[in-house]
Amino acid sequence: MQLSHVSYAIWIVTTGLEVLVCALIYRRGLYRRLPFFAAYLTVLVASEGLAWAVYGVFGFGSWTAYDYGWIAHAILLAARGLAIAELCFRMLRSYPGIWALAWRILLAVSFVFLLHAAVESASRPYWLGTFVLALDRDLELTATGVLIVLLLIGRYYTLEMNSLERRIAGGLCFLSVVVVMTNAVMVQAMARHLTSWLAYAAWMADAQTWWNSARGLAAVSVLAMWALALRKPIAAERPAPVLLPDSAYRELSPALNFRLRALNTRLLELLKS
């Protein structure tokens, strides 16, 4: 099995953009602010270089390439997980009250999705391909869930979030959503084509081109967005906001909630009258 010309073209563009973004991260000093994200991009570039070497020596359809592909993918998933955790901390740490609340929510979201991943993967033990894809899909779903909750918390509390960090979070989330969608379609399609090995092999060649292209195009869009964001020197960090005394929340919040609750009741009366 060989990669199609389209897949090669997308792969070359993706690798080029990954190298560019990685170089910009070090040039702009973003590695000091987001070390795990910088490490993730570095691992990504290194894995792409190794992939070119492995595919060149052993061929794209070889078992060595297959094993390498999934091992690299697992390492990248772990690196991305750390980068996401770092983003959550960076974006919320200036707000200790919200951070104390948010990390529990984010942990609960991760737990729920990981539990879903475990259950879903365990229910597909009959074939390694669908098992790995289902697991991959659900791990990406976890990343999506955590990032969306993070952005929602930021929007709900109108927190000041650095524009670059928000773009990085948005980009990672976009990538995860595309992976979830493509994997979901592949898992279903694989299960349908498993009845005949010959038909499966013929279908797989086409499907893989489609799968690689969809993921590749998503990666190109996100990397281009990050490269654009990093084309100028990154802005200095805003000073942390001055916090209110402890008593402000203790006194105002229950009073406000009481009033909002009562206002809701009045509005409901208006509806019923």
Partner 1 sequence: MTEALLFVASGLALLALVAVLAWPRRADLPGNATHGEIPDLSHEDLAPRHAKYFPLIRQALEGSDLAQLGRRIPSGTRRRLRSERRKLARRYLAGLREDFLRLERFGRMVAALSPKVDARQEAERLRLGIRFRVVYAAVSMRLAFGQIPVPAFERLTSFVGSLAIRLDASMATVLEPRPPQASANLGA
List interacting residues with partner 1 (CB under 8 A).
95-98, 100-101, 104, 137, 144, 147-148, 151-152, 154-161, 163, 166-167, 169-171, 173-174, 177-178, 180-181, 184-185, 187-189, 192, 238, 241-249, 251-257, 259-264, 266-271, 273
For partner 1, the closer CB: 61 or 241 = 241
Nearest distance, CB of residue 59 and partner 1, angstroms: 30
Nearest distance, CB of residue 129 and partner 1, angstroms: 15
3-state secondary structure the chain: CCCCHHHHHHHHHHHHHHHHHHHHHHHCCHHHHCHHHHHHHHHHHHHHHHHHHHHHHHCCCCHHHHHHHHHHHHHHHHHHHHHHHHHHHHHHCCCHHHHHHHHHHHHHHHHHHHHHHHHHHHCCCCCHHHHHHHHHHHHHHHHHHHHHHHHHHHHHCCCCCCHHHHHHHHHHHHHHHHHHHHHHHHHHHHHHHCCCHHHHHHHHHHHHHHHHHHHHHHHHHHHHHHHHHCCCCCCCCCCCCCCCCHHHHHHHHHHHHHHHHHHHHHHHHHHHC
Nearest distance, CB of residue 195 and partner 1, angstroms: 15
For partner 1, the closer CB: 119 or 252 = 252
For partner 1, the closer CB: 15 or 136 = 136
Nearest distance, CB of residue 21 and partner 1, angstroms: 17
Nearest distance, CB of residue 74 and partner 1, angstroms: 22
CA–CA dist 81, 132 (Å, integer)? 18
For partner 1, the closer CB: 73 or 167 = 167
For partner 1, the closer CB: 63 or 246 = 246
Nearest distance, CB of residue 39 and partner 1, angstroms: 22
Nearest distance, CB of residue 9 and partner 1, angstroms: 24
Angle at 213 between CA 211 and CA 219, to 5 degrees: 105
For partner 1, the closer CB: 61 or 254 = 254
For partner 1, the closer CB: 8 or 200 = 200
